[in-house]
Structure 1
Amino acid sequence: MRILKITIGLLLIIAFTIALSIFLLSEELPKGTQGPRAEELADKMLEALNKPAWDSIKVVSWSYPRGHDYVWDKENKSVAVKWDDYLVVINTDTEKGEVFEAGKKVNDDDLFNTGLKYFYNDSFWLIAPFKVKDPGTIRSIVNYDGSDALLVQYTSGGVTPGDSYLWILDKEHKPKAWKFWTSLVPIGGMEFTWENWVSLHGAKISTFHEGLIDIKITNLK
């Protein structure tokens, strides 16, 4: 009984410490101003990254941390997601597809949904800057450290609609970092860098994000 009481006490202390850390580290979602200036800033950001070049790419492949490998056939609206012994092939229009385990086709909705969530998350870390004017987005200007930053709020789409992202831009309107407020991360305003930019057929792609954990995109082609 004494051991049980000590264990419960430690768990309560840990829970309190986590809750206090979240409270102290979290930032409130900033209030921005919608309108022509916000739309112009979004357009300048897309121009700096050459969105038309990204739109013209038919197939792109890359690897994401934790062993997630992708081949995305944008032209035919299909993506292959591979991890461990699993392969999930998704129609990006219908969000339906097939699941393979060790090369054998299986019927497993949980595995399919896992692959779909991986694709939404991992592709967002690849091309989020190109999605600031997607349907269902709201853009606002926010004053951040004396400069204009772009707040993008997603009202629909993806796995977690309702998420918000604050893009911090350099003088050329290329992202330096973002802060985000999402339902999956309890700490609001967590910041990650956008750096190590490469040119993919003229489109600018960031391949490294430094933050609480570092995210490195590899095998991009």
Structure 2
Amino acid sequence: MNIKKTVKIIGGVFIFLTLPTFLLYCFIYFKYDSPVPEGIEGPKADALATKMLEELNYKAYDSTHYIEWSFKSRHHYQWDKKDNKCTVYWKNLKVNLDFEHPENNKAYMHNFKLIDQEKADAIAQATKYFNNDSFWLVAPYKVFDPGTERRLVNLENGDTGLLVTYTSGGTTPGDSYLWQFDANGKPTSFKMWTSILPIQGLEASWTDWKETETKAQLPTFHKLLILGIDIKNLKTK
């Protein structure tokens, strides 16, 4: 087989494998990509955020000291909310995070303690996982976190949405989320404008709620386009 024919075959395979993905990306981009909507800050925005917290029984969540869950069956968490610590498991790694005293962080592989750069890398990865995965679990309860801005947004269907922007904290400060609600003020979805997503304005569901052992309401599933985000093994104390 000559080189020219080989190049044609490789090129054909490459196009066959990548063209459908590229076309799908273009379709999604032109259908969903949108700028962050404008909104109005003030007491009315804060009141809508407060109504959401009341509908979700924020007091029960606030008094919950411990949450355990699995994110997409890949990352597993034992979060001590009271002492602000979390143990993170994935693959053959275990990391003990102490958010108030990071000098106490520890990392293990196959139960052997990691040191130096391997330890630092594992801790950084665990922190990144926690920031992302816990947000999919407790995002509604973070609307009054330090550094947040809340704005009322008029939606196309005539309803009112709540735009929350995180100006600091987490792994990707500057992200914005537009919450939408049912008639009682309970979240049903949010749209996202984040630095890690190539398409801005994508919508994810917040409809599969579970009342946990402490009466705190937490989600068990999110739908994002055709993707599903499972939250399993949910326990609270």
TM-score (norm 2): 0.86
Q: What whole-Å deviation, never above 9, does each CA across 1:172-211 have from its counterpart, x for those lacking one?
A: 1110011101000011111111122111212211111112
Confirm whether residue 194 of structure 1 aligns to residue 234 of structure 2. no
Confirm whether residue 205 of structure 1 aligns to residue 223 of structure 2. no
Q: Paired residue for 2:144, among 133, 138, 147?
A: 133
State the identity as a percent.
42
Of structures 1 and 2, the larger Rg is shown by: 2
The equivalent of 1:68 in structure 2 is: 75
Confirm whether residue 35 of structure 1 aligns to residue 48 of structure 2. no
Q: What whole-Å deviation, never above 9, does each CA across 1:104-145 have from its counterpart, x for those lacking one?
A: 111221111111111111100000000011000000001112
Code of the aligned partner of 1:99: A
Q: How far 1:94 moved relative to its partner? A: 3.8
- Distance (whole Å) between structure 2 residues aligned to residue 218 and residue 58 of structure 1: 19
Change in 2 beyond 3 A, CA 1:127/1:12: closer
* Range that drifts further, 59-68 or 132-141: 59-68
Change in 2 beyond 3 A, CA 1:34/1:68: same
Q: Paired residue for 1:7, among 1, 4, 11?
A: 11
- Distance (whole Å) between structure 2 residues aligned to residue 67 and residue 206 of structure 1: 17
Q: Paired residue for 1:101, among 99, 109, 120?
A: 109
Question: 1:22-171 to 2 correspondence within 5 Å?
Answer: 23-24=29-30, 25-96=32-103, 97-107=105-115, 108=118, 109-144=120-155, 145-171=157-183
Residues 22 and 186 in structure 1, CA contact (< 8 A), matched pair in contact too: no
Q: Return 5+ residue gaps in structure 2 as ranges.
A: none
The equivalent of 1:219 in structure 2 is: 233
SS in 2 for 1:210: strand
SS in 1 for 2:52: helix
Q: What whole-Å deviation, never above 9, does each CA across 1:55-103 have from its counterpart, x for those lacking one?
A: 1111111111142111001111110000111001001224451100001
Q: What whole-Å deviation, never above 9, does each CA across 1:137-177 have from its counterpart, x for those lacking one?
A: 00000111211110000100000000000001111111001
TM-score (norm 1): 0.91
- Distance (whole Å) between structure 2 residues aligned to residue 13 and residue 61 of structure 1: 41
SS in 2 for 1:214: strand
Q: Return 5+ residue gaps in structure 1 as ranges.
A: none
